[in-house]
Structure 1
């Protein structure tokens, strides 16, 4: 039987590690919350007892318990449920850590049932700024293949990154937009020049998720927004606008297992179109067996691809250089040629562009 002391120490350490990650990703408020929680949580109320005796892996790379708690608390603020907690959240400021923790601790006790229910579910985000890394990939695909795109996104959440062609972009001093959009994405651009004058057209789009969120649902929108860190107002506003665009276009995401969904999507032949399988910080969360099955399905579909019906896979995923963002890779069939075309911050704050060899 595991040592209860060790379990508690592991839970507290998860908050310390999450605090460090939040500082690196530009959220001093969430870092402060996690730091105070690491020391201040006690087992004398249901929420603290649940967290400090967590049966699984509470770490940021496991069950992400700190982000589950942060999301639950933020939901209480966004919904107007706890005015005392809201007074301690941005744009307000409480300089004294003791007073800040009193507001948090009161919320943990007062809204225990709500928080305990939220702790059962993994955090769910849909980081719109990742489209700033995806767009260069889609422009590369269009430049190489000169065909309309059929989009299939794995782990699509609310489908916000299925709407990438409906956003406005600035790459340095270079703009890109098909139509005016309230969503503006401006990553810090590093590296090679990006050709932006390539014709691009999305023929159709679809996505899957184990727990898809409906952008037209107030409850689902609240859930998505609650996992955005409370001191990052720009992310909150951008996501609200993206939700409205997805809702207006009646974008919904299929509730499905990634492998089952992929198998079905890859059966279709798209003549004179390029089928693009893509995912951002999602593949790593699949079980090892599912990843192996998924890779085999994509490889088999690549072997069936032709010049008339090509297949592409665009992915932004963590690799062994996680300290330097995520790897942006592109593979195209029938040739099977694959290249690292760039790297990007996990939240899309910067893009370091390498590009496809020989394509300028």
Structure 2
């Protein structure tokens, strides 16, 4: 199952090259103990700013997430703290039976987790458990109410701890890993100015859960790094699976997700349409009620524009993903279907045309 998942996955996120000495892989036990004793994250709710993840650990998480579709999966991450960054060095899957909407660790998973960490200590692996990851197949990277509760408990008893969410369906469609890292605020803590995050295309069935808990956590900047040895390992993996990657299309392997996106967009447009005010003659308004009525109309107009704007963004995102899938197929056909005796310059000109079209659409 892991091999099948890897065949449909290509790591195209920006990767930060580490120094030749691979300093990030050095582990200073004394400094880690000192940092744990000081625990600066307990004084500042937003102490951690970044989550740096090893490329190999990321591949393991994405393969695990893809193998569980359409169900959620769950795993644990090992690493350390470096300054204001949570550094994930490795990850491992947990024997958790998830559903299409939630995943939670039971006693069996907790026992497996403890045994795995104890086994790591026996073979002189110094990294601690620094977080957990799970998947949201097709509905984006954020924390639900259950996820917030789980992360709050983890930060209460095993801090420092980070929650990572991966969307395997959007990863395939977008051509890069759709991932998010989050930390929750302490109980009864109110962030200044509320939460400010980039717009996400959330399915209609999940919007309420997404909005209710949005102020209880904040996102960390995610960076991917690799060592010189990881570079060799990734090269070997690419040499084995590049044919499968080129021969497959996200439009086919991920068509169920594409259909669900279109169905969700139709529901959102229908909901937006029902809220748009009909064009009826305006009744006369008393002068003293003019200001109050004007404010109500402005608020209603803003709500209408918001719903319609979000629907337009969703439709644009779906169209771009479909266009990229079609363009990749055209490029493959142009490059690999040159007939014997055909003029290669004609094929190159077709490639240039496709590239120009891609640039214009983006």
Q: TM-score, normalised by structure 1?
A: 0.23
Flag the structure with larger Rg: 2
